[in-house]
Amino acid sequence: MPTIGNLTIERDTLILTEDWVLAHFSQLRPQVQTALANAGATDHSVDWSGLGRLDSAGAALIAELLGSDRLTALAESDTDLAPERRELLLAVARATSGLEVDPVSQAPTLRESLARVGRGMSEFYRGQKLLAGFIGLTLTALLAIVPRPRRWRLTSLVAHIQSTGLNALPIVALLTFLVGAVVAFLGATVLENFGATIYTVHLVSYAFLREFGVVLAAILLAGRTASAYTAQLGSMKANQEVDALRASGLDPMEMLVLPRVLAMMISLPFLTFVGMLSGILGGMLVCFFSLDISVTQFLTILERDIPLNHFLVGLGKAPVFAFVVAVIGCLEGLKVSGSAQSVGEHTTSSVVQSIFMVILLDAIAALFFMEMGW
């Protein structure tokens, strides 16, 4: 067999000679690839008695040539290897063993697919069970401090109200205004075919008083505030600040969770009210400029034909949505394991779960109110 630089194949033996170091990596790599292309060459015995200097780069090439399992077996069985060289080869073999993948990927079987679905359902069940338990723990802590005003965290509550409510006011108002204008424009386009463009006022009013005002505000808080809660508590959990509170005899539920939950429950009704007004204002402007419905006429129809219970239904859902969104954000933050990757994963999970629960609860509430005739 021909000699290939530092790598020689003679009969059933691979002979490694000269220096296998980083400086010679560019010359050694083609030789290793050529040997790998020779079918069965890597199954030969290895003679590294003539091997010169060896570093981690050269050991990695040897591991690529022989495979991590075979390199481990050869290094452990060869008594002629120096101890430091044996440890280097074993360390590189262990490090590269997890990087080797099976080149043949098979499609999952029906059993594996069903097992994956089952694991997903089991994880979803455990997550909902944990959420229910955390809701109970939050309510217990809330009932414990309500009769004790000295334990109220008013400074923290006011600070979270500012960050949750006041700072979110412009984006909520802008978004609902634009959605109100879009709803009015689409409604007018459809109703014009029936000569009933005047009912665009009813469409906008019903939509924002019952649904859009509270749902859009809750979804914005789910993406803006629930993620912030998760990131804040997750960072505290990663830095062991939550454990420090417990070691100091302080309750993290009382110190961290309750102010955030109460702040969102106070802020979301106000944001919902602002969202209702902004959405109706956007629809009013579209009606004024596109349908020749004056502001006075719009407000007259709104006062005469839209019952108050629609406003109360929309506003009544706000504290429930706020409680669920805040609890999910805090729970995901306290579930962080301690790494930056875990903080990112749970932040994403809190946003997805919050938006899902808001839409689910809104659908259930819509069916309930429809059956009740409210």
Task: With respect to residue 134, please indicate whether it lies within any of the assigned structural domains.
Answer: yes
Task: With respect to residue 120, please indicate whether it lies within any of the assigned structural domains.
Answer: no
Task: With respect to residue 111, please indicate whether it lies within any of the assigned structural domains.
Answer: no
Environment class of 369 (CB within 10 Å of its CB; exposed 0-12, middle 13-18, buried 19+)? middle
Beta partners for 269? none
Which of 6-15, 126-135, 336-345, 363-372 bottoms out in mean pLDDT, i.e. has the lowest? 6-15
The model's confidence at residue 3, banded by pLDDT at 50, 70 and 90, is very low
Residues 245 and 296 occupy one common structural domain: yes
Beta partners for 46? 14
H/E element, 146: none
Helices (H), 222-339: 227-238, 241-247, 252, 258-290, 295-305, 308-334
Residues 51 and 159 occupy one common structural domain: no
Domain total of the chain? 2
Helix (H, G, I), strand (E, B) or coil at 44: coil
* pLDDT 10s digits, 303-344: 888 888 889 999 999 999 999 999 999 999 888 887 778 888
Average pLDDT score over residue span 99-104: 46
Residues 9 and 152 occupy one common structural domain: no
Task: With respect to residue 337, please indicate whether it lies within any of the assigned structural domains.
Answer: yes
The model's confidence at residue 42, banded by pLDDT at 50, 70 and 90, is low
Beta partners for 296? none
Average pLDDT score over residue span 89-108: 64
Beta partners for 14? 9, 46
Residues 281 and 244 occupy one common structural domain: yes
Tell me the one-letter amino acid at 349: S
Residues 200 and 58 occupy one common structural domain: no
Tell me the one-letter amino acid at 30: P
Residue 104's pLDDT is 44
Q: Are 187 and 167 in contact (CB under 8 A)?
A: no
74 versus 334: which is more confidently predicted?
334
Residues 267 and 179 occupy one common structural domain: yes
Residue 107's pLDDT is 63
pLDDT higher than threshold 50 for residue 100: no
Residues 84 and 45 occupy one common structural domain: yes
| Residue range(s) defining the domain that contains residue 230 | 126-372
Residue 11's pLDDT is 67
* CATH number, residue 52: 3.30.750
Helix (H, G, I), strand (E, B) or coil at 53: strand
Record the pTM.
0.68
Average pLDDT score over residue span 103-113: 67
| Distance between CA atoms of residues 244 and 226, nearest Å | 23
pLDDT higher than threshold 60 for residue 71: yes
Average pLDDT score over residue span 135-150: 88
177 versus 5: which is more confidently predicted?
177
The model's confidence at residue 39, banded by pLDDT at 50, 70 and 90, is low
What is the maximal distance between C-alpha atoms in the chain?
Answer: 100
Q: Can you read off the two tokens belonging to residue 120?
A: 């997903």
Residues 52 and 131 occupy one common structural domain: no
